[in-house]
A and B are shown apart, each in its own frame.
Chain A
Amino acid sequence: MSEEPLFDPSLKKRKKKTVAFSEDPLGADADPTTPAPAEIDNVTTNGDAVDMGPTTMHEQMLKQNAGPEDGEKKEDDDLKAMFGDLKKKKKKKEIPLDLEGDGSGTSTPVGAAVSEDLDFSDLKKKKKKSSKKAALDLEAFEKELNESKVKDADEEEGGDENQLQDVDETELGDDPFSRGGEGVSLDSGNEPWLKSDRDYTYEELLHRFYAQLHASNPALLTSAGKRYTIAPPQLAREGNKKTIFANVSDICKRMHRQPEHVIQYMFAEMGTTGSVDGSGRLVIKGRFQQKQIEHVLRRYIVEYVTCKTCKSPDTLLSKENRIFFMSCESCGSRRSVNTIKTGFQAQVGKRSKNKTG
């Protein structure tokens, strides 16, 4: 327990959930003349991630494997970089793991991803460390052993405060070895709780689970490139005041949703009205740009298509007793979704044209 401040993986993770939907994900100053991306993704044209809800543990592992510096890159070379990084990492970290191997026979390359998570030192230091790592790791391991002995001794004295101070020192000191030793220590058979008599935390166990899961089936990390994509909305202007949304039915089919539901949501969100014409196109009153419609669709997908539990888009929407339920096909969860509400509509245009006014 006393090692808690040292081991807090959530510290780093919180940062990764970035842009909330309250902001325009395309950027307010994005040039409307440039074509919108060909696919609706959870990464926008600017390359910053859109919050599609909280990330699952699995996704976080994926991200870590891609390396922290990939976050800033465009999504196009994301996949490539991920593969490249994976290979590099394996090569680099294999050596220290082998040296470590005397304690644990089952040490795995996936542990490298976890070790990165534990690293609170800044990037510069990390780079320095990783380049030196192969040579110095044996030393580091010995040092770690010594440290753990010291810690154990401290604990036996019953000094929890002593322990805290000790931890603080190792955290603040610029000794790169101690950090490295701490990072590697999450490999199986070498978990931090083995050295002390404290209980393991939920986070640690979760990490252990995922490390072992990915160790036994490495295909999980590589096959996750399957993304949920949807054709971009095709918009055309009809006259001066109406916009035609040509491929609504196509998009609805892709999302497995009733067009009525999608259209109702869009009208409620955009505060307009419209109709469906003979060839299945949607005529929206008002001028809208492609990115605006795309933004609305994105929010629809977050709210009514992706499963909140497993984030799979493979869901079904069914209506029971006037309440819509969304059931997930892949994880089996089932939850009610918000009803679409139009809310207050202000009086726009001439009152004489409005029947109610």
Chain B
Amino acid sequence: MSVQNLNTFDPFADEGDPLGSSTQDVGSQSNYIHIRIQQRNGRKTLTTLQGLPKEYDLKKLLKAFKKEFACNGTLVDDEESGQVIQLQGDQRLKISTFLVQEGIPKNTIKVHGF
């Protein structure tokens, strides 16, 4: 015989995702990949790429970016946002298409700027 009231139920247990697979855009703000742009002097701009998942080797990625987009760039260590790829010029669209082609879902990429 089973009494339903006596069944143990852990209210704090992980429920999986209640909204199916769409947890990516609900609440989770931190794991977006941000592509930003910054103005420098004159017509020059900088593009920064922040928040890439840990499994990617940023150094190799930077090398690929530099070759693909024909621009220079560095890897910057930031206290808050970890390692950030920084490229010369406005490479936002190119970066996002590159990342999408490499299989990163498009809804995790956020392109900022004007």
Contact = CB atoms under 8 A, between A and B. Distances in A.
16 contacts: A22-B96, A271-B37, A287-B39, A288-B114, A295-B114, A343-B34, A343-B48, A343-B50, A343-B81, A344-B84, A346-B38, A346-B48, A346-B76, A348-B40, A348-B46, A349-B40
Interface string B70-91: 0000001010110010100000
A344 B37 contact: no
A332 B32 CA distance: 29
Interface of A: 21-23, 268-272, 286-288, 292-293, 295-296, 338-339, 341, 343-346, 348-349
Contacts of A23: 93
Candidate in A268, A288, A348 with the most chain B CB atoms within 10 angstroms: A348
A338 B38 CA distance: 21
Interface residues of B, number: 25
B78 A272 contact: no
B81 A348 contact: no
| Ranked 8 nearest A-B pairs via Cβ | A292-B114, A271-B38, A286-B39, A344-B81, A344-B84, A344-B50, A22-B111, A346-B46
Given A270-B39, A288-B114, A344-B36, 18 more contacts: A269-B114, A271-B38, A271-B39, A271-B112, A272-B38, A272-B39, A293-B114, A295-B114, A338-B29, A341-B29, A343-B34, A343-B36, A343-B81, A344-B50, A344-B76, A344-B78, A346-B48, A348-B38
A286 B40 CA distance: 8
A272 B45 CA distance: 12
A292 B39 CA distance: 13
Contact of B80 (A286, A295, A344): A344
A286 B39 CA distance: 7
B113 A271 contact: yes
A341 B86 CA distance: 18
Interface string B16-58: 0000000000000100001011111100001010100000000
Nearest to A266: B114
Contact of B41 (A272, A338, A349): A349
Candidate in A23, A268, A286, A287 with the most chain B CB atoms within 10 angstroms: A286
Contacts of B81: 343-344
B34 A22 contact: no
Nearest to A342: B36
A296 to B, nearest CB: 6
Contacts of B41: 349
Candidate in A270, A346, A348, A349 with the most chain B CB atoms within 10 angstroms: A346
Candidate in A271, A293, A349 with the most chain B CB atoms within 10 angstroms: A271
A344 B40 CA distance: 15
Candidate in A23, A343, A345, A348 with the most chain B CB atoms within 10 angstroms: A343
Contacts of B111: 21-22
Contact of A22 (B37, B48, B76, B93): B93
A270 B93 CA distance: 16
A293 B41 CA distance: 19
Contacts of B34: 343-344
A237 B36 CA distance: 23
Contacts of A349: 40-41
